[in-house]
Amino acid sequence: MSAADILDLGKIPSKVNPELQSERNCSSLTPYISEITAIVDGGRNNTEKRRQIERILFKDPLFRDCAIDSVYKPRDEMYARGVERSVRLFALKEEYNWTDEEFGIAVNVINHQYSLGLHNVMFIPALERLSTEQQKAKWLHLARNYQIIGTYAQTELGHGTNLQGLETIATYDATTEEFILNTPTVTSIKWWPGALGKSVNYAIILATLIIDGKKHGMHPFLTPLRSTKDHKPLPGVKVGDIGPKLTFNIVDNGYLILNNVRIPRENMLMKNAQVSREGHFTSRGPSKANYSAMILVRVTIVNWCSVILSNSSTITVRYSAVRRQSTLDSSSEKESKILDYQTQQYKVFPSLATAYALFFVSKTLKNRYLKTYAEIIKGNFKNLPEIHCQSAGMKAMSGEMTAELLEISRQACGGHGYLAASALGDAVASAKALVTVEGENTVLYLQVARYLMKRFAAAVSGERLSGSTEYLCMDPMKYTCPINSPEDCMNVSLLCQVYRFRAYRMISKAARMLQRDIEGGKKQHKAMNDNLVQLVRAARAHLLYCMVVDYKEGMNQLQISVPVSKALNNLLVFFTVFNIVKNAGDFLETESIGLPQMEWLKETEVKMLAEIRPDAVSLVDAFDIHDNTHGSVLGCYDGNVYERMLKSTQNEPLNQCDVHYSFHQHLKPFLQRNNTSKL
Amino acid sequence: MSAADILDLGKIPSKVNPELQSERNCSSLTPYISEITAIVDGGRNNTEKRRQIERILFKDPLFRDCAIDSVYKPRDEMYARGVERSVRLFALKEEYNWTDEEFGIAVNVINHQYSLGLHNVMFIPALERLSTEQQKAKWLHLARNYQIIGTYAQTELGHGTNLQGLETIATYDATTEEFILNTPTVTSIKWWPGALGKSVNYAIILATLIIDGKKHGMHPFLTPLRSTKDHKPLPGVKVGDIGPKLTFNIVDNGYLILNNVRIPRENMLMKNAQVSREGHFTSRGPSKANYSAMILVRVTIVNWCSVILSNSSTITVRYSAVRRQSTLDSSSEKESKILDYQTQQYKVFPSLATAYALFFVSKTLKNRYLKTYAEIIKGNFKNLPEIHCQSAGMKAMSGEMTAELLEISRQACGGHGYLAASALGDAVASAKALVTVEGENTVLYLQVARYLMKRFAAAVSGERLSGSTEYLCMDPMKYTCPINSPEDCMNVSLLCQVYRFRAYRMISKAARMLQRDIEGGKKQHKAMNDNLVQLVRAARAHLLYCMVVDYKEGMNQLQISVPVSKALNNLLVFFTVFNIVKNAGDFLETESIGLPQMEWLKETEVKMLAEIRPDAVSLVDAFDIHDNTHGSVLGCYDGNVYERMLKSTQNEPLNQCDVHYSFHQHLKPFLQRNNTSKL
């Protein structure tokens, strides 16, 4: 196909690129792909359901280029498009009577490229959670029918992690039975809430309640911000967009300044605390239901990480199977596929393996959450700290891994991975957000570490532990490294013991360091701060152990055919070995393994690269991600990479005319200023 | 200052934020800042020269917001602005008679935010290097006077690293004494050259020369692409922009399709090879001067990495000294500065230390390059392989470090580091480009590794080595770890020995693995590929050793006051220890250190964080980077972070009116579709 066919006629070859076809022909896993797809979707029915949603969405041009078109648009148009998509999506939800789960699938299919997500994801659930029955009756149907559109406003310009630090205030005025809301300082301005800037007309605002000059803690206030008629900001409300971010610019994250904004007493959401007409305050304390919502979001993020890595692996593996560069064998005429270079495999396969790992990990975590949640609603809070620690930690660990691995695999696509049309840069930026949102990672690691310190102290004092920290009761003197041959490095059960011992030693070391500092006269908080780095290391070690166990156990529960089992097991072994080698210092330092083991593990690691290689394309095909969902010119099913790259240039605004106006305005006068000669 | 003052009047407090002022008041390094600034600038005169250039540039509104304004503009306007800036910059260069070096300072001052950089950086130097005297006489003054504007076009859609793979052809037609240029396939389309898309009217095109059906290798052809009158593409030329990238969108990186484009015989740049009128080909082989240009670019990148990290450290350290979040000591009323958390220091100080490290490393490398270059022009090529290896390796290592550390320090700024207005995202994206441009990092590491394998074989065969690989002659049996106490961990000379031994062992291991595989019957190329991962590890170990040595020696040459020496030495020790801990597995595995040493090193590492803490703000103030250069709301000298964030929202296009047009178009009809009630 010629360049002119592509540029002038917009053609793309209809055939699959032979480079990719040969991969599919040669992989013994190819006939079993649909089996893996069903696992990832959670059953063949779900696969069919997802594909049906894809068909519905992608017959609409509004959704067809969703993953990529925004990079060519100015912010203004991008946002307008996002609003249009939101409205269309809500209408489809009604038309097809999608469940919340199906709606979630639709959102994944369009790669979250719409503006008003917060309404369904935060506003409605918060209304449900925080309102009295009477309030629900008044507000919920309005929200569900999109007669009001809302968000949840907590974070402020100067305050994020530490809720106690929030400065927005709601002062009760008993004479009018109203609350008066104010953001009295620059640092108190609400900052970040999604859809706050231009879209919503209501927000649930977290503010400190003040009655008669006395503070009564933080409470939620349902506050109208814009007229439901003309959408103009209401008196006392200043609201706007906070400006562009690394990505998600389709969403209008906003700021909000409140200047004596009055709302009726009934607009305080009073499920957990009440203010009477006379200004009498009563409270049941914060609801445990609030915790469980936060935990669920974090559990969901672990799954989201898996989805992000599945997307990006699909792109990088396919591209690596198409791209040829230099030769491995100098006697060869043809350049080599970059996927055949060991170094390329070492950049691309960790993402692939981690995509599968986090799929199984998130599934196990979700089940554990549901079990604990069922206990909680029966009033049994025993396992709340455990699931809190698990969800916080897994969110942090998987967010960190995802951001890091994704960037490595983006780099593995060289210059072309630097193009917006590769969709990899945007994926990296999305992954990076996961490091910060819903609990900043370091803060979460330290929450896990504090939990571990408590559990360790309990173990030392003879308490019997259960759950993920059960192993802290172990007798470290009884440990001997279970890896006694290179073959043992393929045995994930043995490797789990190694992970466990490393975690134990890292945790006991942190506890020892803390104790030493306190016994040496440091105050508790000073001792804590002087050991934060080691505490984070201990938390990571614990979480990586949990992750490997959950991955292994998630896999064990599958009923699968032999070829699928073999291929997935290769990834499991690789993931397990890779993360030991990556953290080699810790494993050696804690004497969980010795030098010969480390050498065997490194050999196993590169051996597994070679094992995975023939099935790599099948393993990403199995994710069955629609081309429109990943939106990458490098990652399409047909592998026509170069043709799609060339075609993508048609979308670039600079290419809409041959000569850009800046030539006439700036360049021409300059070039010709001395031009006496004729060229 | 109230929100209204900021938003409605555009005010920012005139006083320095007390949080930052107290840092400056308390650091004993404050009185010595100008001494460090002079070191970084290369003398007090240079500081004055830079500041003068800053004054010239920043009195012009066109340059004042250069670092940040483009994030608010659509691509089209961004590019136009970049062209306008280019033209203004070239005019200033003439007006003030700036040397190339001064022009380089100006470019750094405006953070490279202009479009036509390739003309000076690539086009003119290539013309100088590749042309005959006659050609120089004809073309150079046209280029220097900007009567023609050009770029250098080498990379193709399907070909990057491997020059031999390029497909563009130039066929000689003796009847008309012309070359006929063609990009015959989609993969042969030129792709990536900066300023190619819309700006330039000339390009030096790398193409395979064909005479009478016979190929004669790759040569440069000076080719007019657009009319110098109306800038329209010439017949047979299709040229355009390749679309948005992760950053640098002010530059129109372009594609180029050539369809029987004829140029006169004289337009082949014939310094190194000639084609006579009759089509007779003669060649002197590739010029060594070509190599030295490539080497110089890589040397420059190492310095650029230091500049990037200086910028970002300025931002992250100042922000961390202003931001307060949670409390270290729960008895304290006030929230703590995040810079006081050990974990925050562990994210921010590695960037700071590496900024200084790479400053010294690049200085030493530059001097070594100049020395070798002086030899080369005298016809002595002995040290060419060594400087080639050093520059390739240091470029790879510093690019990798910079991209990684910068992202960590961006994350250390939490959500606000995710805003475009923080300027950190853009800095990360720029750093990422350095991993790929001018030699893809893995390719470069493997070049270093191959060089090391050769040198190691030479050492084994008894040859005496010099330069960076001298140590390969060591007797490993004689090594004992020189670290015998915690205090020894502060002694960088001793630590250098540790680094050296680790490098030796990693290199000898790679050599052993290769030999084993070849003796086991694998072909050379297969053995090579099966050990690429270890070869890269060996190269990194060598380069990190070289880096630490160069850093130490660069520091030793300074004549500085005691407080400055102490502060800079803290950074040197931290950098050295940090990179051992980061690569702990290697150091333990090679038995360069043992377990007690590792424990001491980790203690030294966190001890150094506490040592650096009081001087952190002074150490970034010393970079003396103009607020307009880094362009970050988080990093300004006055520390008025929140006020600047709020003010920055005025630039956001979405905020130009209260109600966005998408409300009327999309949202209103939807919200009101069921609206029978009145809200």
Tens of pLDDT, residues A191-211: 999 999 999 999 999 999 999
For B374-412, how does the pLDDT look when each residue is reduced to its tens digit (9 = 90+)? 998 888 999 999 999 999 999 999 999 999 999 999 999
Strand partners, A205: A153, A221
Q: Could you please report the per-residue DSSP string of B10-53? A: ----SSPPHHHHHHHHH-TTGGGHHHHHHHHHTSHHHHHHHHHH
Sort out which chain B residues have CB atoms less than 8 A from A232's CB and list them.
658-659
Parallel, antiparallel, or unpaired for β B178-182 and B214-224? Answer: unpaired
In a mutational test of the B interface, the residue from A182, A242, A336 whose CB has the highest number of chain B CBs within 10 Å is A242
Position A252: which residue type?
Answer: D
Q: Could you please report the per-residue DSSP string of B365-420? A: HHHHHHHHHHHHHTT--TTHHHHHHHHHHHHHHHHHHHHHHHHHHHHTTGGGGGBG
Decide: B601 and B587 in contact? Cβ < 8 Å: no
CA-angle at B625, arms to B620 and B628, nearest 5°: 135
Is A146 close to B436, i.e. CB distance below 8 A? no
Give percent of chain B with pLDDT exceeding 70: 98
ipTM summary value: 0.96
- The C-alpha atoms of residue B424 and residue A96 are separated, in whole angstroms, by 43
Decide: A579 and B578 in contact? Cβ < 8 Å: no
Q: Does residue B575 surpass a pLDDT of 70?
A: yes
Please tell me the predicted confidence (pLDDT) of residue A676.
57
Decide: A544 and A499 in contact? Cβ < 8 Å: yes
Q: Which residues of B are catalytic?
A: 438
Q: Could you please report the per-residue DSSP string of B144-181? A: HTTSS-EEEE--BTTBSS-GGG---EEEEETTTTEEEE
Is B71 close to A523, i.e. CB distance below 8 A? no
Closest CA to B116 of B78, B81, B83: B83
Position B193: which residue type?
Answer: P
Residue A49 pLDDT grade (very low, low, confident, very high; cuts 50, 70, 90): very high
Q: How far is B441 from chain A (nearest CA, A)?
A: 9
- The C-alpha atoms of residue A141 and residue A145 are separated, in whole angstroms, by 6
| Residue among A343, A605, A645 whose CB faces B532 most closely | A343
Is A246 close to B585, i.e. CB distance below 8 A? no
Is A436 close to B429, i.e. CB distance below 8 A? no
Q: Which residue of A has its CA nearest to B446?
A: A343
3-state helix, strand, coil in chain A (%, to 5): 60, 10, 30
Buried b (16+ CB within 10 A) or exposed e, B542-581: bbbbbbbbbbbebbeeeebeebbeebbbbbbbbbbbbbbb
Burial of A358 (0-12, 13-18, 19+ CB in 10 A): buried
Sort out which chain A residues have CB atoms less than 8 A from B147's CB and list them.
671-672, 674-675, 677, 679
Q: Does residue B85 surpass a pLDDT of 90?
A: yes
Is A80 close to B666, i.e. CB distance below 8 A? yes
CA-angle at A61, arms to A60 and A62, nearest 5°: 90
Residue B250 pLDDT grade (very low, low, confident, very high; cuts 50, 70, 90): very high
Residue A675 pLDDT grade (very low, low, confident, very high; cuts 50, 70, 90): low
In a mutational test of the B interface, the residue from A646, A647, A661, A674 whose CB has the highest number of chain B CBs within 10 Å is A646
Give mean pLDDT, residues A434-443.
95
Q: What is the mean pLDDT of chain B?
A: 95
For B28-38, how does the pLDDT look when each residue is reduced to its tens digit (9 = 90+)? 999 999 999 99
* Token representation of residue B167: 């497909």
Please tell me the predicted confidence (pLDDT) of residue A379.
87
Q: Which residue of B has its CA nearest to A183?
A: B3
B286 or A260, greater pLDDT = A260
Give mean pLDDT, residues B340-367.
97
Please tell me the predicted confidence (pLDDT) of residue B675.
62
* Token representation of residue A421: 């049309």
- The C-alpha atoms of residue B652 and residue B655 are separated, in whole angstroms, by 6
Sort out which chain B residues have CB atoms less than 8 A from A534's CB and list them.
602, 606
Residue B249 pLDDT grade (very low, low, confident, very high; cuts 50, 70, 90): very high
Sort out which chain B residues have CB atoms less than 8 A from A186's CB and list them.
1-3, 6, 642-643, 646
Within 10 A of A294 (CB to CB), how many other CB atoms are there? Answer: 14
Q: Does residue B679 surpass a pLDDT of 60?
A: no
Position B161: which residue type?
Answer: T
Q: Does residue B346 surpass a pLDDT of 60?
A: yes
Please tell me the predicted confidence (pLDDT) of residue B1.
84
- The C-alpha atoms of residue A524 and residue A521 are separated, in whole angstroms, by 9
Within 10 A of A431 (CB to CB), how many other CB atoms are there? Answer: 25
For A62-98, how does the pLDDT look when each residue is reduced to its tens digit (9 = 90+)? 999 888 888 899 999 999 999 999 999 999 999 999 9
Closest CA to A597 of A460, A499, A457, A450: A499
Q: Does residue A331 surpass a pLDDT of 90?
A: no
Q: How far is A404 from chain B (nearest CA, A)?
A: 9
Q: What is the mean pLDDT of chain A?
A: 95
Sort out which chain A residues have CB atoms less than 8 A from B83's CB and list them.
660, 662-663, 666-667
- Taking the CA atoms of residue A405, residue A407, residue A408 and residue A409 in that order, the dihedral angle to the nearest 10 degrees is 90
In a mutational test of the A interface, the residue from B670, B673, B678 whose CB has the highest number of chain A CBs within 10 Å is B670
| Residue among A241, A246, A587 whose CB faces B649 most closely | A241
| Residue among B87, B161, B343 whose CB faces A670 most closely | B87
Q: How far is A46 from chain B (nearest CA, A)?
A: 30
**Count of CB contacts below 8 A, A vs B?**
412
- Taking the CA atoms of residue A625, residue A631, residue A635 and residue A636 in that order, the dihedral angle to the nearest 10 degrees is 70
Parallel, antiparallel, or unpaired for β A254-258 and A261-264? Answer: unpaired
In a mutational test of the B interface, the residue from A72, A84, A86, A87 whose CB has the highest number of chain B CBs within 10 Å is A87
Q: Phi/psi at A560 (nearest 5 deg)?
A: -135, 160
For A108-159, how does the pLDDT look when each residue is reduced to its tens digit (9 = 90+)? 999 999 999 999 999 999 999 999 999 999 999 999 999 999 999 999 999 9
Please tell me the predicted confidence (pLDDT) of residue B286.
66
Q: Does residue B677 surpass a pLDDT of 80?
A: no
Please tell me the predicted confidence (pLDDT) of residue B676.
57
- The C-alpha atoms of residue A309 and residue A398 are separated, in whole angstroms, by 10
Closest CA to A356 of A390, A401, A296, A323: A401
- The C-alpha atoms of residue A240 and residue A232 are separated, in whole angstroms, by 12
Q: Which residues of A are catalytic?
A: 438
Is B646 close to A255, i.e. CB distance below 8 A? yes
